[in-house]
Amino acid sequence: MWKQEDTLCYSVSGGFGEIGATGASLQAEIVDIAKKHNITMVGPNCIGVFIPEKLDTFFLPSERVARPRKGHVAIISQSGGWLVERLEEFATRDLGVAAAISIGNSAQTNVTDFVRYFGNDKNVRVILAYIEGFGPDEGREFVEACAEVVPRKPVVVLKGGDSEAGHRATQSHTSSLAGDSVVAAAAFKQYGLIQAVDEDEVMAYTKVFSFNPRLMKSSRIGVITISGGHGVIASDEASFYGLKLPPFTKEDQETMKEVMTPAYRGIASFRNPIDITGSASDVDYEQVLKVMLGLDYIDSALLLLLPYTPGITLQVGARAANVTKQFNKSVVAYVPDLDKYEVILKGFEINGIPVGDTIEEAVQMLNGIRVRSKFLQRIGKL
């Protein structure tokens, strides 16, 4: 479909293998032409390729589709529309991309080719793939390629087309075979891929691994908050993902209590989660966090920052992040997604601590780290 406006042409590259025999014949003809002239082709039925500061073949203008800054996430998507939404979300959240590839029908190049390529790209820290289905033998090739890459860097996958209706939609969308979702999930797990169940997990996993986080020896996490209710929510979410909040010993609780401001010691709770209450200051948060991270039965930390209270300043993110640098443990944070708290968020992220904009997302980040850590432990790489 072409539209001529002055000297500009816009094209939607549909009408090929996804529409049946006629389109499939035309698609095969294009592949033959590409091979004859030694051309590598992406698509058809796609929106193009975007590599920040290097290449932009999207037919959609920047006022319609965001172009995120340069970063460390490579996105491979069978759906152009799904890719567009991820780019908008990445730009809004200031998460950079190394590349964004819309593969469409994968007539010549497919998701496996790009996994292998980005697996060797030193700038890429995490690969994200949206997959609806595979052609004959492509599923096996995909997981085998991932098996080569995963020991070096994580591969996150979201698979569509799992329902009966989704199977039918997949056929008409990219002419792929959706396959059995149970078999696919088992294969993904066996080969160390991290399968997201929805777009919230997609964002959590890709963001946390873009920070190249420390890994987790076990599922034991410590939570520190200034709001008891947020601690309860975090506990419920952690339980859902199989993350454990071990109780602190009486001796360790007493140590935490001693480093708190004397006037507030009596109202704080030093169980797990730790609730230092709305009376606490930046210094209280730092000191209690330091004790918690020093415990040998805590392997990671979830920091809940609600900067509504008078004792917490906009510098708390940087100050808490500096404490975490003293320990070889994975740490993530939650800060409300409000412009007025951007300084706190940046204080964390500039210092290597990824921030979720919901408590659920922060817990999902820890889950992603734990899933990857367990796989690396299983193959003897951790």
**pLDDT confidence of 259, banded at 50, 70, 90?**
very high
Confidence label for 225 from pLDDT (cuts 50, 70 and 90):
very high
Q: Specify the range with the lowest mean pLDDT, choosing from 167-181, 219-233, 293-307.
A: 167-181
Which band of pLDDT confidence, cut at 50, 70 and 90, is reported for residue 285?
very high
- Asked if the domains 2-210 and 221-378 are classified in one and the same CATH topology, the answer is yes
Assess contact for 75 and 86: CB atoms under 8 A.
yes
Residue 6 has pLDDT above 90, yes or no: no
Report the alpha-carbon distance of residue 270 to residue 277 in Å, rounded: 11
Amino acid 161: pLDDT: 59
Q: What is the pLDDT of residue 163?
A: 46
State the DSSP code for 214. P
More confident position, 61 or 24: 61
Burial of residue 178, with CB atoms counted within 10 A of its CB: 0-12 exposed, 13-18 middle, 19 or more buried: buried
The whole-number average pLDDT for the span 84-102 is 96
- The residue ranges of every structural domain in the chain are 2-210, 221-378
- Superfamily per CATH, domain 2-210: Succinyl-CoA synthetase domains (3.40.50.261)
Token pair belonging to 92: 């809004």
H-helix or E-strand containing 201?
helix 199-210
232 phi/psi in degrees, rounded to 5: -65, -45
Has residue 241 got a pLDDT over 60?
yes
What's the predicted TM-score (pTM) here?
A: 0.89
5: number of Cβ within 10 Å: 7
Check whether domain 221-378 has CATH 3.30.428.10, yes or no: no
Encode pLDDT of 243-252 as tens digits: 999 999 999 9
Flag whether pLDDT at 236 surpasses 90.
yes
Q: Which of 50-59, 128-137, 227-236 is the most confident on average? A: 227-236
Q: Among 25-34, 104-113, 226-235, 311-320, which is the least confidently predicted range?
A: 25-34
Give every CB contact of residue 171 below 8 A, 6+ residues apart in sequence: 177, 178
User: Which pLDDT belongs to residue 183?
Assistant: 87
Q: Can you give the pLDDT at residue 30?
A: 76
Q: At what angle do helices 359-378 and 199-210 cross, to 10 degrees?
A: 70
Q: Are strands 330-334 and 355-356 parallel, antiparallel or unpaired?
A: parallel
Return the pLDDT at 179.
58
Find residue 131's DSSP bridge partners: 159
Predicted confidence (pLDDT) per residue in 118-171, tens digit: 999 999 999 999 999 888 888 999 999 999 999 999 999 999 855 444 444 444
Distance CA 156, CA 118 (A): 13
- Mean pLDDT across the chain, nearest whole number? 89
Q: What percent of the chain has pLDDT over 70?
A: 88
pLDDT at position 7 is 37
Q: Considering the chain, what percentage of its residues have pLDDT values greater than 90?
A: 72
Helix/strand/coil (H/E/C) assignment for every residue in 8-73:
EEEECCCCCHHHCHHHHHHHHHHHHHHHHCCCCCCCCCCCCEEECCCEECCCCCCCCCCCCCEEEE
Predicted local distance difference test score (pLDDT) of residue 17:
52
Q: Is 232's pLDDT higher than 60?
A: yes
